Structure 1
Amino acid sequence: MSRRLRRIAASVAAALCAIALPAFAAPARADNPIVQTIYTADPAPLVHNGRVYLYTGHDEDNSTYFTMKEWRVYSSADMVNWTDHGSPMSLATFSWASADAWAGQVINRNGRFYWYVPVKNRATGRMAIGVGVSSSPTGPFTDAIGRPLVENGEIDPTVFIDDGGQAYLYWGNPNLWYVRLNTDMISYSGSATRIPLTTAGFGTRTGNTARPTLYEEGPWVYKRNGLYYNVFAARCCSEFIGYSTAPGPTGPWTYRGTVMPTQGSSFTNHAGIVDFNGGSYFFYHNGALPGGGGYTRSVAVEKFTYNADGTIPTMSMTTAGAPQNGTLNPYVRQEAETIAWSSGAETEPSSEGTMNVGYLENGDYVKVKGVAFGGGAGSFTARVASGANGGRIEVRTGSPSGALAGTCTVPGTGGWQAWTSVSCATTGLTGTQDLYLRFTGGAGYLFNVNWWQFTPRTTSTPTVNAHD
């Protein structure tokens, strides 16, 4: 969201939260929504090489419709500290698309990543499914075929590969369709098949003869222990998340109940489920950020455990989010855009590659959760740039106003992408603690941060505030 709106909304939200929502009044304990720098929607998680990659849509600020022009990707090794990888694919990726970068999903096959997304076809004015492809989970993605893969005016593709290697693509609103993808993942055999939306398969909706079942949109299909799951947005509006199961990838489906009831300030919801490092995780979206709502949504996550019979428990939205699965190593380079929670910070592409944290003003901060300092950190180094007069990075623990472990002075560097490194001594950083980098200085924007790293106190400590 824009800085001006964030500042206004944050002041209002702080007053309300102090009265009614103590979890939001204590951001040190609130890690949902996952991303606070922009509005995100329609989560699609993918587990790859020890990380969860989270693909999302991007709701534009001040939206009064689903105004979406690009997709974003984030990743995490511990389910709480998420690295912003920017926008590896947008409407401009598809020369034939005119609007509506809506909900999609990424899958990996044979070392390539395929991103199935719905966009509006400029030539027909209808929604169609396009395919982006990349050799990296973070992109960049290119148009795999230069045209729609399939087009019938419906949306929300989900994809999975069955145990025997057969891939399936499902999508649809108001119907539910599938095709059998070929091994190249960019073509299919046969024609699109419509799955019967029976009340036995997808629940009974009352008061809507045009849509007798609960199925609305946003299917998420996967297989677990020989059982096929279809988790979907149900009964608009406002939507809840329901699910069905089947003995095979195309049915017959049996409706199983509610995963997440209608709640939150968004009238839509969209689910994604993965298993990671021994846990099961349910991703969804809501309107919980300041200024949030049905067209300005934010992605969140909950950890859950399947019931013994394979059914999914009913979950509620929380501000706590998932527990940390591991710790973060401060003695290797960490991207500044790796964030558990932030206030005021935004991200942008860096001239040195990846992204950087920027647009920082006095009092803004970034939280990194569960940092394993071990025997102790002796110094802190950050890569910084400032087109103004710079400022200070306060290294704190526990909260934005917690114990001060060190302060690095950031000079003006002559440009917002003119990078230098600053270092300062630190004390009191032992064990595993939540780290807060608080940015202070004068009025206006202060500086950008690209990455940071600590040095153990057993090694030589660099000169305080040395610059290169």
Structure 2
Amino acid sequence: MKKVRKIAALLSAISLFVPTVSYADNPIVQTLFTADPAPMVYKDTCYVYTGHDEDKLVNNFFTMNDWRCYSSTDMANWTDNGSPLSYSSFSWAKGDAWAGQCVQRNGKFYYYVPLTPKNGGTAIGVAVSDSPTGPFKDLIGKPLVSTGSGDIDPTVYIDDDGQAYLYWGNPNLYYVKLNQDMISYSGSIVKVPLTTASFGTRSKTDRPTTYEEGPWFYKRNSLYYMVFAAGPISEHIGYSTSTGPTGPWTYRGKIMPTQGSSFTNHPGVADFKGNSYFFYHNGALPDGGGYHRSVCVEQFKYNSDGTFPTINMTTTGPAQVGNLNPYVKTEAETICWESGIETEPCSEGGMNVAFIENGDYIKVKGVDFGTGAASFTARVSSANSGGNIELRLDSPTGKLVGTCAVKETGGWQTWVDKTCTVSGAEGIHDLYLKFTGGSGYLFNFNWWKFTKAGNTTVIGDLNGDNSVDSTDYALMKKYLLGIITDFPVENDIEAGDFNKDGVIDSIDFVLLKKYLLGTIPSLD
């Protein structure tokens, strides 16, 4: 998708202006094609789990091999957490990593996904993790539930009384009551009656109601909602409500009209930090369409009676919730919009930005520099000649407040810290990390952090206790061994880069040792 995403920069033209309120950009992911969003709020973070439409189709049909996970604390900048699960994680499955949903219970996370078993048919599996970002593992080694056909698009909700329900299906809608362990169920599979009163009258006669697939089941106040992809094809989003978790259902109408260059759609609904959000997918990216989809999100307000308003697809998305703090370590793969880059698994954990070429950039929305920044540190690697990270405000050609030079480090996963001075970064701005250099791939990028202007740094104090001692020595040793990737003190590069070459390395370690032994009088 790399060349495609360079064209995608045209879609972000609106972001070159600075509005009174900062808005997100849709689609929320541009590094690859994503589909079937499933939001989950956990603590102060909104996670969205997606399918992944591969660039290359097999048999001109949905080609999906794994699921992806993204997270945001402000609904504008999304961090790529990589792939927490793939169909190959299930020994009994042979493919088709279609729409799933993850829920949390008792400190564990349960990911319900549809798969094609090796012996044929369709089935719903479940994988478990101790972390919302995975990795997830199949603990039961077999399908959780199967009717033999149409077993796709699972949705799970845990009711106030602790009873969990699993709904799924196309063309039929089924449910079971999950047990407390969340990996088994009691009773029989129940087939939901699809009547026009419950799920609406279809404009064609190919099915009895508008229900198509992609159910999203949840409760708000005392009302249960079944939001679903509705037919005929091309799909729109409709919904039904009930006063009980198993119906009877009453059709309430259309939420999102047929829009967006994709013949499918898939809903997900979540409340986060006092706002309500509606997730969906479309074919908005260049080369997008029915088999190359992209996840988007809109903010909305329920009507006073609990019904949905009409929600249309936009390119602006929801308003940003708060602003991003640049003075804490931020993953480079935390992105509002990008042009050209890709992501990959990082040897230091998580993901890193990769395949960076001259002219590529990352946009980070609504960065609050406060009274000003003094320096910028980037964790980078390169097996080539490197390049530069230009720090620009409000557009890729906006005010230049700093340039961080990156040189060859010895390998694409051989990481070093590079620091540059910053001038003129004050107040709230969109930050553009623009990459420049020669031909070919320039460098990889793991994380970044600014340092506030006016901060007083004690050289050698790596834990922030205003003294230089054996604790700092131990921290630097752990850092060089790869046990830790950052120091507790805010201005860590300034505090630990004693020879001022922009890198904390073995030379600085030797200097710190000499200082503690009294061989040299200072580290300045």
Question: Is the structural similarity TM-score above 0.5?
Answer: yes
Name the % identity: 65
1:26 positional shift: 3.3
1:92 to 73, 76, 88: 88
- Does 1:222 pair with 2:222? no
The one-letter code sitting in structure 2 at the alignment partner of 1:405 is V
The one-letter code sitting in structure 2 at the alignment partner of 1:354 is G
1:431 positional shift: 1.4
In structure 1, what is the equivalent of residue 132 of structure 2?
Answer: 137
Deviations 1:319-357 (A, max 9, x none): 001110111111110000011111111100011111000
In structure 1, what is the equivalent of residue 203 of structure 2?
Answer: 206
- d(CA) in 2 for partners of 1:299 and 1:427? 36
Q: Name segments (4+ residues, structure 1) moved above 3 Å.
A: 4-7, 23-30, 460-465
- d(CA) in 2 for partners of 1:176 and 1:144? 26
In structure 1, what is the equivalent of residue 14 of structure 2?
Answer: 26
Equivalence map 1:23-422=2 (5 Å): 24-28=12-16, 31-63=25-57, 64-123=60-119, 125-152=120-147, 153=149, 154-208=151-205, 210-422=206-418
- d(CA) in 2 for partners of 1:395 and 1:90? 36
1:4 positional shift: 4.0
TM-score of the superposed pair, with normalisation by structure 1:
0.95
Count of aligned residue pairs for this structure pair? 454
- Give yes or no for contact 2:12–2:25 (8 Å, CA) kept in 1: no
Give SS of 1:26's match: helix
1:62 positional shift: 3.2
The one-letter code sitting in structure 2 at the alignment partner of 1:170 is Y
1:465 positional shift: 6.1
Give SS of 1:68's match: coil
Give SS of 1:126's match: coil
* Structure in which a larger fraction of residues adopt strand: 1
- Give yes or no for contact 1:27–1:341 (8 Å, CA) kept in 2: no
Give SS of 2:198's match: helix
- d(CA) in 1 for partners of 2:3 and 2:143? 38
The one-letter code sitting in structure 1 at the alignment partner of 2:223 is L
- d(CA) in 2 for partners of 1:431 and 1:4? 34
Deviations 1:41-71 (A, max 9, x none): 0000000011001100000003331100000
Deviations 1:239-290 (A, max 9, x none): 0000000010111111111110001111100000000000000000001111
In structure 1, what is the equivalent of residue 476 of structure 2?
Answer: none
- Give yes or no for contact 1:6–1:291 (8 Å, CA) kept in 2: no
1:467 positional shift: 2.4
- Give yes or no for contact 1:374–1:432 (8 Å, CA) kept in 2: yes
Deviations 1:181-216 (A, max 9, x none): 0000011110100010000000001331x4110000
- d(CA) in 2 for partners of 1:100 and 1:206? 30
Give SS of 1:151's match: coil
- d(CA) in 1 for partners of 2:383 and 2:439? 13
The one-letter code sitting in structure 1 at the alignment partner of 2:152 is I
- d(CA) in 1 for partners of 2:12 and 2:333? 22
- Give yes or no for contact 1:51–1:76 (8 Å, CA) kept in 2: yes
- Give yes or no for contact 2:53–2:63 (8 Å, CA) kept in 1: yes
Deviations 1:349-377 (A, max 9, x none): 01111100010000100011111111111
- Give yes or no for contact 1:424–1:465 (8 Å, CA) kept in 2: no
Alignment root-mean-square deviation, CA: 1.4
- d(CA) in 1 for partners of 2:167 and 2:295? 22
1:116 positional shift: 0.3
- Give yes or no for contact 1:409–1:465 (8 Å, CA) kept in 2: no
- d(CA) in 1 for partners of 2:341 and 2:318? 22
The one-letter code sitting in structure 1 at the alignment partner of 2:132 is P
- d(CA) in 1 for partners of 2:275 and 2:5? 34
- Give yes or no for contact 1:339–1:366 (8 Å, CA) kept in 2: yes
1:5 positional shift: 4.2
The one-letter code sitting in structure 2 at the alignment partner of 1:194 is K
Q: Which runs of 5+ in 1 are unaligned?
A: 18-22
1:24 positional shift: 4.2
Structure with higher Rg: it is 2
- d(CA) in 2 for partners of 1:196 and 1:456? 61
- Give yes or no for contact 2:267–2:279 (8 Å, CA) kept in 1: yes
1:144 positional shift: 2.3
In structure 2, what is the equivalent of residue 436 of structure 1?
Answer: 432
